[in-house]
């Protein structure tokens, strides 16, 4: 088999390289486990530790102290040709965990994945990723991962497990007893084919798909309206007016990375473009999308139907369609309706509520607006969220009736996230054969007879078709670290397929590529690119079958509950990922917890204060977080917390609120439940927020204007910059650069605050995780933070997201004050920080007006007090060997990814050519789903940053201080009337 | 008397510079010549392990004039897979095989064109076309002398390091004696003698302590025992195997790389007996393969963790000869660290070393420096001038 | 002689030269009193707690303090500046008053200088302990090294601090020691104990007190004093530049150098007052440190307090006058009315208002009240540094980063340790060194005693 | 072998007058010991010191040395850029100012002891120990060839001028 590999993203020779070794027996020289035992001893935490594998080094401290320890250099026994120690390889792959989809490149060093980058060849995600995707690489090195298969809680081996399960499955098949394969959504065509074939072998097996947060109502509504139970593909890039009801399409809903690309692409204002889409958001909790809306209207869950129906009535009234009576409510939807009508066929109405009635109204509006076949593509279906809540309910009922003899569970954790966990668990106890494929011993796996740990996706072969026609490949980038086996291989073993899944996949793909392959892409090329687009037959949009609309049942008698997914933790799959746990929520900036969000007015009325503990429904105790923009009379709580069997970082963080889901209708809904909320007198619970002050105090920090003003005057909202430029004087000569001057430019108009960059930076630069207590002490280590400011109305504020990192000032205040010259300026305009020179006076931190410098308050490596990935031999595998792990007592900060700059400079020198524009791509910029960050050479007049710098929107943060930052920001433009 | 890292560096660095200049000249010529022959030279590096061109018989025969002795087609077949060729019953091949102690030549996967290029290279007398005799023959000589003197210096300094401890002890004793005399025994009446002795001793001891503590963690003249008595003198010196044949990633990676066993096996699949150690040491390679365990070499040149050093930058881009940092490896049976690898030593070179400014197109973007060269303001561009002494060139 | 007329008698009790020697040396010869042991015990306890604080900080990290990403300097720097301020008294007394020919300084300057030495030692510990990597602290000295050699950043006020404070310590110590040499000789000649004779003999450097010796001594003293005089101004000016050179609103202001210098002398005199009242009580030095001396100090304090008040008002005015929203916020919203108003008003009342009570003669004459006010001054000056360091950092330019600061037990321990060190130092000074400059007192004794009849008559 | 005649006084005023009187009588006073500095005496004994000049030179040397060091390190040896400031910055003034004082003070201090030949632990034997306490001594050299008359005259003069005691010591 031949396999191509990426040297790096662009302009790399396609080299024929040997395949990564496959199979289950780990090669001695590749096995991280092996190294774990023999080589990595003692406190080798720094770069030398990281030089391991291909060039592993171990230090043995001698008994006599003053001697330098002996370091061993252990070469590979046989060095594979594609492995050059010290040079990264990039493999195209796909991230899919049952919920989120992303096409990615995996950066490996010495055959060890260390970073996820976006794949720019993907037509769907276009080099974007999300924070969860970025953090997924750390899951590979999670200590909680199972190292062996388990049989009734005891360690076992694959032969025994295979023998016993095959036997039992065979027996059940003969008896004709019902066995259920319960999986998360599977978008892999090959896996689906495999499951189909597997079920042919065991005809008694039925297959149920379960999504903890489902979208089955959309499928149901579309079945009623179009006769197809599908989720259509939405074109946010084609929509001029978007009205969203609780659909957080920039954060969680379906394909957030794709939608972010589309949405922000439609709103770019560079190069004289003044055309911008407009977003209306009706929602209960402040979501990431809501924070980016031009108009945001907080509504209670019970009001969603009313408002939607009014919107429908407005449009129908003008279009001459049937209107329906609506009880009066306080919301005016006329403006939205007019905007939509003005942009017929170029508008989009979406709702994230999992309620058929709501979705039927949404469909009716979109139909009236003629959006089908223009902004909504019913032929290009989205394959995510295939779960059917009704079938899941039936399954649980059957289990309780004892009708299920066997249950194989892949990538699901209903014992944690099924809304009625107790019902599920009691049902599970009645099941005879219980098999889990979980990677870790999660809540469900604990209850199973057999746990057959699946490989991490970075160790697996797979494919994915998130959107019909858009396929991508998952390929292993590392040998399985532990004695685990891919789910598909397990099925093949039990179905006696012969061979393994990689050959099965290849065979399937060869067949797939033989037809409908216009470019004639080879299998090798597909593996190289990671993506493949099948020729799509245009297909006709099916006719609309009108349905009678009715308002959903709604209970508005008390405090209404609106559950939501956090940008970091999501549904709780990655609750043991310290990066995600510590990622500040883009809206609340809270880390490490979930909490009950209430509106300021509500809080005042109920005498609730930040960190007061409330009891929800008399059972769940949660701290209060007063959230501006939260709909009055509602309370919002994030899902995904309160895991009890996630691992050392994620156990017992926050509270599990899945049981508060609304199951009144046939679907499980995040909102709609009415809860009681009582204050626990005298009890508080500390919350770790990274930002405690939420307004700008009238300072010109994040600048904004409206589209109308911007068209009239491109520098509107940014008048201060001109003033500063004209009035700045200095005693000193301007810094003179030759050849290279690095600069960054951040478009606040594009940035949605999704925090992908924060995690990308953390992964790239070995940023430490410090735990809740230290975050609470305001000591977060992230080099990049996203400042979030509110303005205007406290009940419904306007939101700014402002990524802030080291500005690399030419007149840097921090440089002047360091007594030991540990920080100074480079000829390339970088503010350099020499960690090993730093003695930790922290004067630079004080004197940095942007407060972007971070101090190592403790030793964060090999310290049991900070028991996260850097305290585990396995967890440290994720560290980037090009970046040193900082010692206690030194100051660190954004280096503009100096290691990437140096790497690309070296490459250019080796190839005897000048550096190309866009060649050096920094970590935060690479995977930004909205392309808000630009980076390049300011001395090159044709570079993107140079051009953006000339734009009228551009300003320097705190420019009046005359720090001359190399980083500039561009005014946020809101598309609203005033 | 003590290596300050600065005082001693001057002449050394100067020598290094002279020597580099010549080596660069050499490399310049080679890069100017035809690409094919340059490649041939690289490919011939493998052959050099057993063959010479006019240097007499090593393991295999002297290849000088081989194109006249044998037909091209014969050579092609032999080179590609000699064992197969011999077994096929070719009498000439068999004869050659037996003449050379029946040591088979390992098969190669070179293309016909590549082999032909090598032959052309051999015909040329082992020189890249275009390079003049004088350059090749004469330049290495002074350089080698320099290296030899470096070697002597290294040994001398090693001895000096020994003396340092003795000095330290003697002076400490002197201080104690003079204090004793001053307070108790009072043999010497002239007190200024005590004062002078103590002052001088304190200054010298202070200097020793300062320099020794500066050298803490550094390993100049470090020469550990290796698991295999591998001699660079034999391989790089006598057999003239190119450094980059074994340390083959030095051109493209930050690590020069310790060769994996399969590189050893390229030659040692045939060469099973060493001149000095017989089969004892070479057998360790085979045993490593049998036990499926890599050889655990002791790393000699260690940099602290906070230093990022990239071999490709220096070897490939900067055209720095290996010996400039590693010393005369081809004269060492066991590798010894010649330089102290201190930051001062690095910086000193960065200050003096000239960048391949005109030759590498990467540097085209430094327009102001180019102008200065044109206007004659500066004669050369050193690494320092493009920011080579800045923190984040090495520390990140 | 005009000063004597104005001031009245400097030394009371019609002392002869040998009376002076006997009185001042007596406490050194007496049995160590009980209060000494008790205080020393307490101070040692505090010192040990401080050692724990040091250990905790060095072994675990600066994270044991209450600092955060925004407020990166806290108690350590506050206390550092506070101690340095206190350390200004010695030089101010010895040199400023020497220059303005205030002869009444002679009874106090030795103690004040000793206080300076110990205060600067206590202060010097803070820059050390507050370093993240104390084991690499030697990087701060621009010594010849094998790293290039790489030097220091001479633009950094912290580097200036190192230079200024070590110079100040050295100059103060040298000046202090010079002054003690004739006194040590006096003890050497007076004592009957062989050990003391040996020790003080060694310390006296072989002083004989001949004319040439006195000439050189006096010249050297004036030269050292003359050179140290600009140091009094420069040291705290440089310390103030730690703040004023930065960009932080509330720090970035040109008034800081004079404001700090005056503040330092103010706090130093405050501490001298505290110490002198204690000393004259314990050692019955009322004849040497007379009510007149205390009165003089209180008068100076009144004036200093006025300057301090003016400086505070000027800051507020400048904040308003600058029109900078950041400055305005820091001063008006954050300090005067905001979260830190307690600290701000404590500072203002203790420094600007309470010392104004000294306008009343009744207050000046009542030593108890004077003592209490002197404590208030010490407290107020501590709060001044707290206001400057913490409020400015806590809420600076970007509201997103605003964070609050609270000290931890470790920081308090370190502070108490330095207090312990200071007190212990002062106790040692009380015990083993003549606390009043004998020869200098003798120098002024004649002038005043000859005028005794004159003053008595009036 | 010389001896000294010592006149011991108990009051500085008396001593000062005595010096005047003795000098008027043509007696050479070789030294005066006192517990306090006697400012008037120095001129009378024609004593001067060049310590101020030395201090000035040290200061000048300190300033020059400091500037040379700062300039060499920041501009020549290892130039590093800090916050857009020129390499040769105004900040030098502050360091120069302080180090000038530093070097001046230290060297003055050392010079004083060198000139006085004083060092820690120096053993001295005072003829009149109370000169460090409350007595003043006038020292008059008595060469071996001095006549007894003359000696007597000096003794009488000393007594006359208020000496409480006159003694003779070997030197």
- A163 shares its domain with A99: no
Is residue C60 helix, strand or coil? Answer: helix
The tally of CA atoms less than 13 A away on the side-chain side of residue B21 is 8
Whether the CB of D119 is below 8 Å from some CB of chain B: the reply is no
Q: Which residues of chain B make contact with C202, given a CB cutoff of 8 A?
A: none
Task: Give the residue from chain A lying closest to B389, CA to CA.
Answer: A826
Domain contains A122: no
Q: Which residues of chain B make contact with D87, given a CB cutoff of 8 A?
A: none
Query: Which residues of B make CB contacts under 8 Å with C?
Result: 4-6, 214-215, 340, 342-345, 347, 389
Region D148-170: what's the mean pLDDT?
80
pLDDT tier at B42 (50, 70, 90 boundaries)?
low
- D128 shares its domain with D101: no
pLDDT by residue, tens only, chain C of 458 residues: 334 444 556 676 667 777 777 778 877 778 888 888 999 999 999 999 999 999 999 989 899 999 999 999 989 999 999 998 888 877 777 777 777 667 777 778 888 888 888 999 999 899 889 998 888 888 888 888 888 788 888 989 999 988 998 998 998 888 888 888 888 888 888 888 888 888 888 888 888 888 888 888 888 888 888 888 888 888 889 989 989 988 998 888 888 999 888 888 888 888 888 888 888 888 878 778 877 788 888 888 899 899 999 999 998 898 888 888 888 888 888 888 888 889 999 998 988 888 888 888 888 888 888 899 889 998 998 999 999 999 889 988 999 999 889 899 999 999 999 999 999 998 888 888 888 888 887 777 766 544 443 333 33
Domain region containing D82: 51-116
Mutation pick from C141, C146, C149, C150 vs chain B, by most beta carbons of B within 10 Å, is C146
Task: Give the residue from chain C lying closest to A789, CA to CA.
Answer: C400
- D58 shares its domain with D107: yes
Chain D closest-CA separation from residue B41 CA (Å):
42
* Least confident residue range of A100-114, A515-529, B8-22: B8-22
Q: Which of C66, C156, C396 lies closest to A819 in CB terms? A: C156
Chain D closest-CA separation from residue B390 CA (Å):
8
Chain A closest-CA separation from residue D63 CA (Å):
21
Mutation pick from D132, D138, D140, D164 vs chain C, by most beta carbons of C within 10 Å, is D132
Mutation pick from C136, C139, C148 vs chain B, by most beta carbons of B within 10 Å, is C148
Give CA–CA dist C260/C264, Å, rounded. 6
Chain A closest-CA separation from residue B89 CA (Å):
33
Give CA–CA dist A932/A259, Å, rounded. 14
Q: What is the DSSP string of A921-966?
A: --HHHHT-TT--EEEEETTSTTSHHHHHHHSTTEE-TTGGG----S
pLDDT single digits (tens) A645-666: 888 888 888 888 888 888 777 7
Among B129, B161, B184, residue at a domain's last position = B129
Domain contains A590: yes
Q: Do C207 and D118 touch (CB under 8 A)?
A: yes
Q: Does residue A37 have a pLDDT over 70?
A: no
- A634 shares its domain with A769: no
What CATH number does the domain containing C448 carry? 1.20.1630.10
Return the pLDDT at B263: 81
pLDDT tier at A854 (50, 70, 90 boundaries)?
very high
Chains that touch D (3 or more CB pairs under 8 A): A, B, C
Six-digit token pair at A360? 């039927």
pLDDT tier at B35 (50, 70, 90 boundaries)?
very low
pLDDT tier at A47 (50, 70, 90 boundaries)?
very low
- A367 shares its domain with A290: yes
Q: Does residue B34 have a pLDDT over 60?
A: no
As for how many domains chain C has, the answer is 1
pLDDT tier at A5 (50, 70, 90 boundaries)?
very low
Return the pLDDT at C456: 37
Whether the CB of A845 is below 8 Å from some CB of chain C: the reply is yes
Domain contains A867: no
Give CA–CA dist A705/A974, Å, rounded. 6
Task: Give the residue from chain D lying closest to B385, CA to CA.
Answer: D79
Q: Which residues of chain A make contact with D83, given a CB cutoff of 8 A?
A: 809, 811-816, 825
- A61 shares its domain with A176: no
Q: Does residue A7 have a pLDDT over 80?
A: no
pLDDT tier at B27 (50, 70, 90 boundaries)?
very low
Containing H/E element for C53? helix C34-60
Return the pLDDT at A584: 92
Chains that touch B (3 or more CB pairs under 8 A): A, C, D
Give CA–CA dist C67/C62, Å, rounded. 8
Chains that touch A (3 or more CB pairs under 8 A): B, C, D
Q: Which of C17, C206, C234 lies closest to D133 in CB terms? A: C17
Region A456-484: what's the mean pLDDT?
87
Q: Which residues of chain D make contact with B387, given a CB cutoff of 8 A?
A: none
pLDDT single digits (tens) A399-456: 888 888 888 999 899 889 888 888 889 988 888 888 999 988 888 888 888 999 998 8
Chain A closest-CA separation from residue C64 CA (Å):
8
Task: Give the residue from chain A lying closest to B289, CA to CA.
Answer: A77
Which has more confidence, D31 or B189? Answer: D31
pLDDT single digits (tens) B141-173: 444 555 555 556 666 766 777 788 888 888 888
Give CA–CA dist B136/B129, Å, rounded. 12
| Maximum mean pLDDT: which of A106-110, B295-299, D61-65 | D61-65
Determine contact, residues D38/C211, Cβ cutoff 8 Å: yes
Return the pLDDT at B150: 55
pLDDT single digits (tens) A772-798: 999 999 999 999 999 999 988 888 899
Determine contact, residues D78/C148, Cβ cutoff 8 Å: yes
Among A333, A367, A382, residue at a domain's last position = A382
Task: Give the residue from chain B lying closest to A34, CA to CA.
Answer: B293
What CATH number does the domain containing B110 carry? 1.10.760.10
As for how many domains chain D has, the answer is 2
Return the pLDDT at A303: 87
pLDDT tier at A555 (50, 70, 90 boundaries)?
confident
Give the phi and the psi of residue C290 in degrees, each rounded to 5.
-85, 170
Task: Give the residue from chain C lying closest to A957, CA to CA.
Answer: C398
Domain contains B394: yes
Return the pLDDT at B37: 56
Q: Do C61 and A787 touch (CB under 8 A)?
A: no
Which has more confidence, C273 or A735? Answer: C273
As for how many domains chain A has, the answer is 5
Domain region containing A527: 150-212+387-533
Give CA–CA dist A146/B5, Å, rounded. 53
Chain A and chain B share a number of CB contacts under 8 A equal to 168
Q: Do A51 and B260 touch (CB under 8 A)?
A: no
Mutation pick from C154, C185, C200 vs chain D, by most beta carbons of D within 10 Å, is C154
Domain contains A544: no
- D63 shares its domain with D98: yes
pLDDT tier at B19 (50, 70, 90 boundaries)?
very low
Q: Do C219 and D38 touch (CB under 8 A)?
A: no
Chain D closest-CA separation from residue C439 CA (Å):
5
As for how many domains chain B has, the answer is 2
The per-residue pLDDT of chain B, averaged, comes to 75
pLDDT tier at A63 (50, 70, 90 boundaries)?
very low
Quickly list H helices, chain B. Answer: 9-32, 35-47, 66-69, 72-80, 82-87, 91-99, 112-123, 133-138, 140-180, 191-214, 232, 243-246, 261-268, 282-291, 311, 322-326, 343-352, 367-374
Residue C205's nearest CA partner among A878, A696, A837, D119 is D119
Domain contains B228: no
* Least confident residue range of A76-80, A568-572, A709-713, B85-89: A76-80
Q: Which residues of chain C make contact with B389, given a CB cutoff of 8 A?
A: 148
Whether the CB of A819 is below 8 Å from some CB of chain C: the reply is yes
pLDDT single digits (tens) B70-89: 877 888 878 877 777 777 77
Q: Do D106 and C182 touch (CB under 8 A)?
A: no
Q: Which of D55, D80, D132 lies closest to C189 in CB terms? A: D132
Return the pLDDT at B230: 85
Domain region containing C193: 2-457
Return the pLDDT at C49: 93
Instruction: For chain A, positions 11-50, list CB contacts with chain C under 8 A.
Output: none
Residue C202: Cβ within 10 Å count: 16
Whether the CB of A890 is below 8 Å from some CB of chain C: the reply is yes
* Least confident residue range of A649-653, A670-674, B106-110, D53-57: B106-110
- A632 shares its domain with A713: no
Chain A closest-CA separation from residue B196 CA (Å):
32
Return the pLDDT at C183: 87
* Least confident residue range of A767-771, C58-62, C381-385, D133-137: D133-137
* Least confident residue range of A328-332, A806-810, A824-828: A328-332
Determine contact, residues C241/D93, Cβ cutoff 8 Å: no
Region A147-175: what's the mean pLDDT?
87
Q: Which residues of chain B make contact with D80, given a CB cutoff of 8 A?
A: 390
Among B129, B145, B162, residue at a domain's last position = B129
Q: Which residues of chain D make contact with B389, given a CB cutoff of 8 A?
A: 78
Give CA–CA dist A164/A167, Å, rounded. 5
Domain contains B141: no
Determine contact, residues B341/B301, Cβ cutoff 8 Å: yes
Residue C402's nearest CA partner among A894, A689, A748, A805 is A689
Query: Which residues of C make CB contacts under 8 Å with B?
Result: 144-150
The per-residue pLDDT of chain A, averaged, comes to 84
Give CA–CA dist D78/D95, Å, rounded. 18
Return the pLDDT at D71: 92
Q: Which residues of chain A make contact with D81, given a CB cutoff of 8 A?
A: 735, 815, 824-825
Domain contains A134: no
Percent of chain A with pLDDT over 70: 91
- A275 shares its domain with A366: yes
Domain region containing B382: 355-396
pLDDT tier at B177 (50, 70, 90 boundaries)?
confident
- A208 shares its domain with A228: no
- D33 shares its domain with D63: no
């Amino acid at each position: 088999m031949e396999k191509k590999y990426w040297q790096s993203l662009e302009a790399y020779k396609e080299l024929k390289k040997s395949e990564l070794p496959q199979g289950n027996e780990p090669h001695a020289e590749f096995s991280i486990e092996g190294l774990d035992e023999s080589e990595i001893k003692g406190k080798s935490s720094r770069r030398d530790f990281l030089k391991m594998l291909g060039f592993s080094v171990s230090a043995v401290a001698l008994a006599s102290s003053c001697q330098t320890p002996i370091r061993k250099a252990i070469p590979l026994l046989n060095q594979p040709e594609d492995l050059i120690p010290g040079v990264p390889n990039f493999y195209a792959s796909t991230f899919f965990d049952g919920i989120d989809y992303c096409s990615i490149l995996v950066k490996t060093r010495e055959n060890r994945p260390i970073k996820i980058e976006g794949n720019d060849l993907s037509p769907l995600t276009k080099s974007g990723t999300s924070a969860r995707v970025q953090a997924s690489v750390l899951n590979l090195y999670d200590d909680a991962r199972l190292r062996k298969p388990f049989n009734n809680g005891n360690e076992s081996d694959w032969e025994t497990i295979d023998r016993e399960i095959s036997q039992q499955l065979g027996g059940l098949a003969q008896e004709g007893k019902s066995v259920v394969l319960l999986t998360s959504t599977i978008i892999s065509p090959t896996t689906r084919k495999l499951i189909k074939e597997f079920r042919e072998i065991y005809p008694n097996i039925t297959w149920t798909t379960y999504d903890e947060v489902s979208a089955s109502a959309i499928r149901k509504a579309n079945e009623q309206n179009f006769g197809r139970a599908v989720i259509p593909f939405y074109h946010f890039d084609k929509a001029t007016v978007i009205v969203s009801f609780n659909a957080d399409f920039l954060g969680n809903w379906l394909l957030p990375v794709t939608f972010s690309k589309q949405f922000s692409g439609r709103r770019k204002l560079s190069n004289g473009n003044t055309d911008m889409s407009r977003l209306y958001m009706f929602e209960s909790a402040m979501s990431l999308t809501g924070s980016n809306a031009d108009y945001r209207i907080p509504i209670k869950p019970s009001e969603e139907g009313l408002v939607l129906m009014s919107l429908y009535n407005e449009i129908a009234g003008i279009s001459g369609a049937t209107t329906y009576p609506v009880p009066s409510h306080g919301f005016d939807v006329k403006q939205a309706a007019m905007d939509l009508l003005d942009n017929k066929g170029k508008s989009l109405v979406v709702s994230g509520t999992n309620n058929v009635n709501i979705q039927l109204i949404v469909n009716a509006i979109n139909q009236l607006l003629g959006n089908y076949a223009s902004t909504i593509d019913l032929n290009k279906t989205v394959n995510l969220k295939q779960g059917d809540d009704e079938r899941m309910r039936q399954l649980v009922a059957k289990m309780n009736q004892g009708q299920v003899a066997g249950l194989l569970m892949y990538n699901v954790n209903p014992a944690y996230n099924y809304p009625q966990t107790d019902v599920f668990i009691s049902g599970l106890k009645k099941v005879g054969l219980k098999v889990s494929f979980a990677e870790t011993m999660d809540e469900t796996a604990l209850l199973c007879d057999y746990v057959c740990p699946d490989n991490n996706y970075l160790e697996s072969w797979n494919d994915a078709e998130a959107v019909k026609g858009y396929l991508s490949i998952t390929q292993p980038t590392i040998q399985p670290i532990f004695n685990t086996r891919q789910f598909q291989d397990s099925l093949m073993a039990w179905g006696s397929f012969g061979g393994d899944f990689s050959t099965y996949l290849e065979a399937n793909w060869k067949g797939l590529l033989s037809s409908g392959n216009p470019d004639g892409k080879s299998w090798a090329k597909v593996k190289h690119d990671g993506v493949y687009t099948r020729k799509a037959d245009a297909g006709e949009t099916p006719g609309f079958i009108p349905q009678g609309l009715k308002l959903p049942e709604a209970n508005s008698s008390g405090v209404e509950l609106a559950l939501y997914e956090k940008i970091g933790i999501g549904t709780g799959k990655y609750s043991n990922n310290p990066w995600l746990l510590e990622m500040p929520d883009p809206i609340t900036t809270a880390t490490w917890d979930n909490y009950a969000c209430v509106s300021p007015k509500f809080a005042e009325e109920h005498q609730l204060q930040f960190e007061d503990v409330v009891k929800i429904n008399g059972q769940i105790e949660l701290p209060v977080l007063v959230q501006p923009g939260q709909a009055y009379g509602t309370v919002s709580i994030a899902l995904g917390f309160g895991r009890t069997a996630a691992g050392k970082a994620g156990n017992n963080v926050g509270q599990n609120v899945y049981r508060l889901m609304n199951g009144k209708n046939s679907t499980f809904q995040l909102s709609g439940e009415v809860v009681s909320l009582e204050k626990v007198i005298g009890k508080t619970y500390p919350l770790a927020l990274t930002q405690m002050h939420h307004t700008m105090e009238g300072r010109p920090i994040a600048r904004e204007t409206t589209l109308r003003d911007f068209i009239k005057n491109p520098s509107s909202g940014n008048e201060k910059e001109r003033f500063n430029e004209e009035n700045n004087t200095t005693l000193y000569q301007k810094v003179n650069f030759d050849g290279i001057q690095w600069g960054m430019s951040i478009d606040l108009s594009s940035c949605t605050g999704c925090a992908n960059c924060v995690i990308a930076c953390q992964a790239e630069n070995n940023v430490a995780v410090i735990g809740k207590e230290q975050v609470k002490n305001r000591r977060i280590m992230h080099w990049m933070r996203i400042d979030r400011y509110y303005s205007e109305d406290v009940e419904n504020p306007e939101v700014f997201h402002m990524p802030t990192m080291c500005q690399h000032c030419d007149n840097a205040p921090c440089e002047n004050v360091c007594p030991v010259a540990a920080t100074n300026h480079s000829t390339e305009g970088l503010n350099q920080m020499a960690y090993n020179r730093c003695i930790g006076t922290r004067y630079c931190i004080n004197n940095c007006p942007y407060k972007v410098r971070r101090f190592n308050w403790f030793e964060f490596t090999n310290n049991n007090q900070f028991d996260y990935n850097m305290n585990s031999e396995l967890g440290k595998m994720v560290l980037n060997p090009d970046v040193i792990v900082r010692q206690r007592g030194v100051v660190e900060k954004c280096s503009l990814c100096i290691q990437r700059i140096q790497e690309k400079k070296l490459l250019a020198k080796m190839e005897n050519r000048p550096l190309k524009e866009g060649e050096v791509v920094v970590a935060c910029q690479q995977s930004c789903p909205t392309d808000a960050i630009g980076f390049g050479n300011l001395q090159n007049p044709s570079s993107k940053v140079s051009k953006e710098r000339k734009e009228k929107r551009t300003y320097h943060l705190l420019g009046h201080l005359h720090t001359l930052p190399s980083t500039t920001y561009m005014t946020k433009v809101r598309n609203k009337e005033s | 008397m003590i290596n300050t890292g600065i005082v001693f560096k001057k002449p050394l660095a100067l020598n290094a510079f002279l020597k580099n200049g010549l080596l660069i000249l050499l490399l310049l010529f080679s890069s100017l010549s035809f690409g094919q022959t340059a490649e041939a030279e690289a490919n011939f590096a493998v052959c050099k392990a057993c063959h010479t061109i006019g240097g007499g018989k090593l393991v295999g025969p002297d290849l000088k004039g081989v194109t006249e002795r044998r037909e091209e087609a014969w050579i092609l077949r032999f080179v590609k897979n000699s064992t197969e060729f011999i077994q096929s019953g070719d009498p000439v091949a068999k004869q050659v095989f037996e003449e050379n102690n029946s040591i088979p030549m390992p098969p190669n996967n070179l293309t016909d064109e590549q082999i032909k290029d090598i032959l052309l290279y051999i015909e040329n007398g082992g020189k890249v076309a275009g390079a003049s005799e004088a350059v090749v023959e004469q330049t290495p000589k002074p350089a080698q002398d320099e290296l030899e003197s470096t070697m002597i210096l290294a040994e001398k300094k090693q001895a000096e390091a020994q003396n340092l401890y003795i000095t330290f002890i003697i002076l400490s004793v002197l201080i104690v004696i003079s204090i004793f005399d001053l307070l108790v025994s009072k043999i010497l009446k002239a007190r200024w003698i005590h004062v002078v002795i103590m002052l001088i001793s304190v200054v010298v001891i202070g200097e020793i302590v300062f320099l020794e503590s500066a050298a803490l963690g550094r390993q100049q003249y470090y020469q550990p025992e290796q698991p295999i008595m591998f001699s660079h003198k034999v391989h790089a010196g006598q057999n003239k195997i190119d450094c980059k044949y074994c340390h083959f990633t030095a051109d493209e990676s930050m690590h020069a790389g310790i060769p994996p066993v399969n590189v050893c096996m390229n030659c040692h699949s045939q060469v099973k007996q060493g001149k000095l150690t017989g089969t004892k040491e070479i057998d360790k390679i085979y045993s490593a393969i049998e036990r499926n365990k890599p050889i655990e070499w002791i790393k000699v040149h260690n940099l602290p963790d906070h230093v990022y050093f990239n071999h490709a930058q220096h070897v490939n881009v900067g055209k720095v000869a290996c010996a400039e940092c590693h010393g005369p490896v081809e004269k060492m049976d066991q590798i010894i660290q010649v330089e102290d690898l201190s930051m001062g030593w690095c910086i000193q070179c960065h200050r003096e070393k000239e960048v391949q400014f005109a030759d590498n197109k990467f540097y085209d973007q430094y327009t102001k420096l180019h102008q200065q060269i044109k206007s004659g303001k500066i004669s050369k561009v050193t690494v320092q001038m493009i920011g080579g002494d800045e923190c984040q060139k090495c520390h990140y | 002689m005009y000063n004597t007329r104005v001031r009245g008698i400097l030394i009371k009790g019609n002392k002869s030269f040998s009376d002076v020697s006997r009185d001042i040396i007596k406490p050194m010869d007496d049995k160590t009193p009980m209060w000494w042991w008790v205080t020393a015990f307490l101070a040692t306890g505090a010192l040990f707690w401080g050692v724990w604080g040091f250990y905790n900080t060095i072994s675990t990290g600066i994270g044991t303090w209450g600092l955060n990403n925004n407020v990166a300097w806290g108690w350590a720097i506050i206390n550092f500046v506070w101690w340095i301020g206190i350390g200004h008294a010695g030089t101010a007394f010895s040199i400023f008053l020497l220059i303005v020919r205030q002869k009444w300084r002679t009874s106090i300057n030795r103690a004040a200088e000793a206080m300076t030495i110990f205060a600067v030692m206590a202060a010097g510990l803070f820059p050390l302990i507050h370093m993240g990597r104390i084991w690499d602290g030697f990087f701060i000295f621009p010594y010849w090294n094998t790293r290039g050699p790489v030097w220091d950043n001479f633009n950094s006020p912290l580097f200036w601090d190192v230079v200024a404070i070590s110079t100040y310590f050295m100059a103060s110590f040298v000046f202090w020691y010079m002054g003690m040499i004739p006194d040590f000789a006096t003890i050497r000649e007076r004592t009957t104990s062989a050990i003391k004779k040996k020790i003080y003999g060694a310390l006296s450097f072989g002083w004989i007190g001949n004319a040439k010796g006195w000439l050189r001594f006096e010249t050297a003293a004036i030269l050292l004093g003359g050179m140290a005089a600009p140091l009094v101004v420069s040291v705290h000016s440089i310390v103030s530049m730690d703040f004023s050179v930065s960009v932080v609103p509330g720090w970035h202001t040109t008034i800081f150098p004079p404001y700090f210098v005056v503040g330092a002398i103010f706090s130093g005199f405050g501490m001298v007052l505290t110490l002198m009242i204690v000393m004259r009580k314990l050692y019955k030095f009322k004849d040497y440190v007379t009510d007149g001396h205390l009165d003089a100090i209180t008068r100076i304090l009144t004036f200093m307090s006025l300057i301090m008040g003016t400086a505070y008002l000027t800051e507020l005015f400048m904040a308003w006058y600058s029109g900078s929203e950041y400055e305005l916020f820091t001063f008006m919203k954050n300090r005067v009315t905001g979260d830190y108003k307690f600290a701000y008003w404590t500072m203002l009342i203790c420094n600007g208002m309470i010392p104004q009570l000294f306008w009343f003669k009744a207050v000046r004459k009542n030593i108890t009240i004077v003592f209490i006010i002197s404590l208030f001054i010490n407290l107020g000056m501590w709060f001044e540094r707290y206001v400057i360091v913490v409020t400015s950092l806590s809420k600076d330019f970007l509201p997103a980063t605003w964070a609050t600061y609270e000290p931890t037990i470790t920081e308090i321990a370190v502070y108490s340790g330095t207090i312990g060190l200071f007190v212990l130092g002062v106790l040692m000074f009380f015990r083993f060194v003549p606390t009043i400059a004998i020869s200098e007192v003798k120098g002024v004794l004649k002038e005043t005693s000859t005028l005794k009849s004159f003053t008595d008559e009036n | 072998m010389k001896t000294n005649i010592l006149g011991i006084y108990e009051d500085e005023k008396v001593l000062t007058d005595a010096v005047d009187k003795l000098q008027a009588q043509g007696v050479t006073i070789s030294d005066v010991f006192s517990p306090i500095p006697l400012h008037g005496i120095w001129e009378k004994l024609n004593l001067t010191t060049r310590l101020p000049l030395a201090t000035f030179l040290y200061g000048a040397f300190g300033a020059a040395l400091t500037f040379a060091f700062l300039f060499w390190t920041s501009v020549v040896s290892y130039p590093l850029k800090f916050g857009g400031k020129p390499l040769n910055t105004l900040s030098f003034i502050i360091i120069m100012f302080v180090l000038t004082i530093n070097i001046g003070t230290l060297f003055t201090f050392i010079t004083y002891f060198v000139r006085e030949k004083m060092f820690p632990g120096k053993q001295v034997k005072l003829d009149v120990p109370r000169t460090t306490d409350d007595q003043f001594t006038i020292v008059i050299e008595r060469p071996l060839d001095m006549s007894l008359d003359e000696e007597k005259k000096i003794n009488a003069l000393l007594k006359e001028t208020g000496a409480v005691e006159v003694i003779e010591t070997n030197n």
